[in-house]
């Protein structure tokens, strides 16, 4: 994966920038309002955006879907803003004691303090899963909590 550099734009939002495999500079500007701008930089004047695509939130979601991104990424990205709260993606290994049990039965929230906000299973995503949802080996759990809580959950799920 190319290295993505992040630049804060005061009063506007955040710009993420990277170079594609073919050598084009590309940036995605995420506005505070949720609007997005995708810019491709000029090869001769690398500081200037040669082409800019203005996307509202719906457009951005459509484009993400078409590019094969995961809708959860975006839905939970906003949470990373909250102080002290961290978001993490944790794979469920076959050896975990929780593989095969439901979220509720595993008492994940009670034992770790962190919450499961989504389960990513091969191509599908289960957002906001019920406590009865069963975790399968190979699933990836999207969890939110304190750094300690997420460490505890990682330990539980790796078995």
Partner 1 sequence: MSVLASGGAEVAEAFVEIGTIVLVLSVLARLATWLRITAIPLFLIGGLVVGEGQLVPLDVSGEYIALTGEIGVLLLLLTLGLEYSAEELQTGLRTGAGTGLIDALANFTPGFAIGLLLGWEVTAALLLGGVSWVSSSGVAAKVLSDLSRLGNRETPSILNLLVIEDLAMAAYLPIVAALVAGTDATTTVKNVTIALVVVVLILALALRYGRHLSSALAGATDESLLLGVFGVTLLVGGLAQRMQVSAAIGAFLVGIALAGPVQQRASALLGPLRDLFAAVFFFYFAFAIDPADLMRFLLPALALAVLTVPGKLLVGWVGARRIGVAVPGRIRAGTALIARGEFSIVIAALGATLADGPDLAALAAGYVLLTVVIGPMAARVDARRLAARLSPRPQPAPT
Q: Using the rule CB under 8 A, which residue among 2, 24, 52, 62 binds partner 1?
A: 52
**The one among 23, 46, 68, 84 contacting partner 1 by CB under 8 A:** 46
Name which position in 21, 22, 23, 44 contacts partner 1 (CB under 8 A): 44
Residues 6+ apart with CB under 8 A from 130: 103, 104
- Which positions from 16 through 35 interact with partner 1, judged by CB under 8 A? 27, 29, 32-33
User: Where do we find the tokens 């505890």?
Assistant: 152
> Listing from the earlier edge strand, what are the strands of the sheet with 86-91?
86-91, 140-145, 115-121, 124-127
Min separation Cβ 47 and partner 1, Å: 4
Which residues in 68-97 contact partner 1 (CB under 8 A)?
Answer: none
The C-alpha atoms of residue 73 and residue 90 are separated, in whole angstroms, by 13
Q: Is 63 in the site for partner 1 (CB under 8 A)?
A: no
Find tokens 């049990």 and name the residue: 101
CB of 58 to partner 1, least distance (A): 19
- Which of 42, 13, 17 has its CA nearest to residue 30? 13
Interface ranges with partner 1 (CB under 8 A): 7-12, 15, 27, 29, 32-33, 37, 39, 41, 44-49, 52, 54
């Amino acid at each position: 994966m190319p290295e993505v550099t992040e630049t804060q734009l005061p009063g506007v939002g955040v710009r993420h920038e990277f170079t594609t495999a073919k050598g084009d500079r590309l940036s995605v500007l995420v506005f505070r309002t949720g609007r997005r701008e995708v810019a491709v930089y000029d090869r001769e004047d690398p500081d200037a955006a040669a082409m800019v695509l203005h996307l509202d939130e719906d457009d951005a979601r459509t484009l993400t879907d078409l590019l094969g991104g995961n809708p959860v990424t975006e839905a939970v990205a906003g949470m990373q803003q909250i102080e002290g709260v961290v978001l993490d993606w944790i794979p469920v290994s076959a050896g975990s004691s929780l593989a095969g049990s439901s979220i509720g039965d595993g008492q994940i929230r009670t034992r770790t303090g962190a919450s499961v906000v989504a389960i990513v299973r091969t191509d599908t995503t289960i957002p906001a899963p019920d406590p009865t949802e069963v975790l399968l080996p190979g699933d990836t759990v999207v969890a939110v909590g304190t750094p300690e809580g997420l460490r505890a959950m990682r330990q539980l799920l790796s078995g």
